Chain A
Amino acid sequence: MDLGKDKLIEIYRHMVRIRVFEERVAKEFAAGNIPGFVHLYSGEEASAVGACSALRTDDYITSTHRGHGHLIAKGGKTDRMMAELYGKKTGYNNGKGGSMHIADMDIGILGANGIVGGGLTIAGGAALSAKMRDTDQVTICFLGDGASNRGTFHEGINLAACWKLPIIYLIENNNYAESTCIADTCQIANIADRSASYGIPGVTVDGSDVLAVYEAVSAAVERARKGEGPTLVETKVCRFRGHFEGDPGGYRPDKELNEWLDKDCIATFSKKLVEMGSATKEEIAKVDQEIANEIENAVKFASESEFPAPEEALEGVYA
């Protein structure tokens, strides 16, 4: 698949943006600058970016509690995201939602979701809406391996299959539902194999290979736009950090994590870009520097922004 230099560098830029954002969130969280709790996406960047690179701005996504990566990949602004994490008025949700609930309706981000599996049926509704309004918009529903054991997985996907809705269920299988290994809660090796029971295609790809994800999702998007219905795409990924910041761990063998760290999707992809001649080392370094500046500015924006006035808690319940 020949994507052209600009697109490839754009893909790299998004992946780095997510990583630098997340590692900075970890730092600011540890320093006590971010209230609540955060679930970081470091390590899984190739999945979100590969998937969202196959979308248009007017396509939809629903995201999860581990949503920062999806939002950035879909075009979310890191300064407004960081401000939301800080609980500031300038945040995406004016400080009403925080890490697990960021939404940007203008670019099709229908919200991260604090309920595991909460987005599965909502995403189907967005896809139905696109179909009824006779647009060719598609929806990607991001979910994790844990959500694949929720009832919404069955109800949502079955209905979408019956109605041939333009939707892609993107299962990011990071092997652990919080602290529980998927091998203990699912008796098949590939969750995408469940697609057979809904009469739709399912494909499992290496989620550390951004171009493999892009290719699989592009095929699913094309199928959806043609009105042929949903696809299950499973990306096998690894979250480099805990389920949440502060996770005491103990459930994942070091060896397993180290194997994934050795094939870090960003390092692998930057090497590949240079090898393919799509970017020079200098161009890569330039992107890295630009992103470092961007995230620095995002933190500055967040920390210097005002908190909402307390009585703003009363606003926004009803339209």
Chain B
Amino acid sequence: MSVLTYSEAIRAAFDEEMARDDKVFIMGEDIGQYWGGALGELKGLWDKYGPERIRETPISETAIMGGAIGAAVTGMRPVAWMYFTDFLGVCGDEMMNQLTTMRYMFGGKAKVPVTIVVYSGAGVSAAAQHSKCIEGLLMSIPGLKIVSPSTPYDEKGLLRSAIRDDNPVLVNHHKMLIFGGVKGEVPEEEYTIPLGKADIKREGKDVTIVAWSLMLHRALDAAKKLEKDGINAEVLDPRTLVPLDTGAILKSVGKTGRLVIADEEPKMGSAACSIAAVVAEAGFDLLKKPVKLICAPDTPVPFSPPLEKFWMPSEERIIQAVKEVV
């Protein structure tokens, strides 16, 4: 085992996959020799793999996403480095109408192995165009798999699986996990984590807290404090929102009878809503109390630090929600 930061785990996954398969290449803005990605995760890869495979582009999100699609259906395994989640709005057609429809619309004949990588999330005062989490919005696009790793271990194993998957897979990297210097143990030997498999990050019996990405860390902190009040919370990290490990969620709720979901999205149409709907439909009888959704308000992300702090779901709000249902 070695201890890696989240950022180092990203670099290691790309490095090993690019070494393993010469069809893998990355295309995006500011990923070359100077910055190695806006937050430096790709530093060194340009020197190792060169400008052919670390392919720096003009500011042309539609050309990056569309180019990745065209390269994928003709035998390459492109990674579309799309910068901020918010910029997916620029290539909405390529996401909704091309990338994710192609295989189905062509009668199952096209293979579209595109990996999309984005910075998601608030917490650095980047305001409403550089801070979003939009898992819920993306979940409503059939044909797209969605990964939101919360630890360096998960990041490396899931990113490798995403690159090897023959379908479009979007991987969210929360900025706070990179800036916050989250560290964790990562095996030296090669490993992957299958998409669609949740992970119980903390075992418990009184309540299930479902959380991923940055919120997973807030949920774990909340669980630690709740322990002092004699509440034993289970924390479940779905890790991938599509495919969603509904079996694991229902199993945990069956054990605890209570469900709190922490999600850094405006509540309406969020991933939290979809997860709650799954449990309401398939596990209503398991619930002893109503499901609690701890989400952001239905507003754009604000800029000023006190506004943004208020806006983001906090550890305190998770604790309060748990206490209301236990």
A residues in contact (CB < 8 Å) with B: 60, 62, 91-97, 101, 103, 105, 110-111, 113-115, 118, 120-130, 132-133, 139, 151-152, 155-156, 158-159, 162, 315-319
B residues in contact (CB < 8 Å) with A: 25, 52, 57-58, 60-63, 65-76, 78, 93-94, 97-98, 102-113, 142-143, 145, 166-167
| Cross-chain contact A317 with B143 (CB below 8 angstroms) | yes
Q: Knowing A92-B107, A129-B71, say if A156 contacts B76 (CB, 8 Å).
A: no
Write the chain A residue with the least CB distance to B113. A319
Task: Collect the chain B residues with CB atoms within 8 Å of residue A94's CB.
Answer: 107-108
| Cross-chain contact A128 with B66 (CB below 8 angstroms) | no
What are 7 inter-chain pairs, A to B, with CB distance below 8 A?
Answer: A95-B107, A126-B71, A129-B75, A151-B62, A316-B107, A317-B142, A319-B112
Q: 3 closest Cβ contacts across the A-B interface? A: A125-B70, A121-B66, A316-B108
| Cross-chain contact B71 with A118 (CB below 8 angstroms) | no
Choice from A103, A125, A155, A315 contacting B72 with Cβ under 8 Å: A125
Q: How far is the CA of A128 from the CA of B71 in the complex (A)?
A: 6
| Cross-chain contact A115 with B106 (CB below 8 angstroms) | no
Write the chain B residue with the least CB distance to A157. B63
Choice from B74, B75, B104 contacting A96 with Cβ under 8 Å: B104
Q: Knowing A111-B102, A133-B76, say if A318 contacts B143 (CB, 8 Å).
A: yes
Task: Collect the chain A residues with CB atoms within 8 Å of residue B63's CB.
Answer: 121, 124, 152, 155-156, 158-159
Q: How far is the CA of A162 from the CA of B67 in the complex (A)?
A: 13
| Cross-chain contact A103 with B109 (CB below 8 angstroms) | yes
Write the chain B residue with the least CB distance to A125. B70
| Cross-chain contact A125 with B105 (CB below 8 angstroms) | no
Choice from A101, A111, A158 contacting B60 with Cβ under 8 Å: A158
| Cross-chain contact B58 with A128 (CB below 8 angstroms) | no
A263, chain B: closest CB distance, angstroms: 36
| Cross-chain contact B97 with A114 (CB below 8 angstroms) | yes
| Cross-chain contact A319 with B166 (CB below 8 angstroms) | yes
Task: Collect the chain A residues with CB atoms within 8 Å of residue B75's CB.
Answer: 129, 133
| Cross-chain contact A127 with B70 (CB below 8 angstroms) | yes
| Cross-chain contact B97 with A152 (CB below 8 angstroms) | no
Q: How far is the CA of A224 from the CA of B107 in the complex (A)?
A: 31
B169, chain A: closest CB distance, angstroms: 10
Q: How far is the CA of A205 from the CA of B166 in the complex (A)?
A: 41
B24, chain A: closest CB distance, angstroms: 11
Task: Collect the chain B residues with CB atoms within 8 Å of residue A317's CB.
Answer: 103-104, 142-143
Q: Knowing A110-B73, A159-B57, say if A125 contacts B106 (CB, 8 Å).
A: no
Q: How far is the CA of A151 from the CA of B65 in the complex (A)?
A: 13
Q: Knowing A115-B98, A125-B72, say if A96 contacts B105 (CB, 8 Å).
A: yes
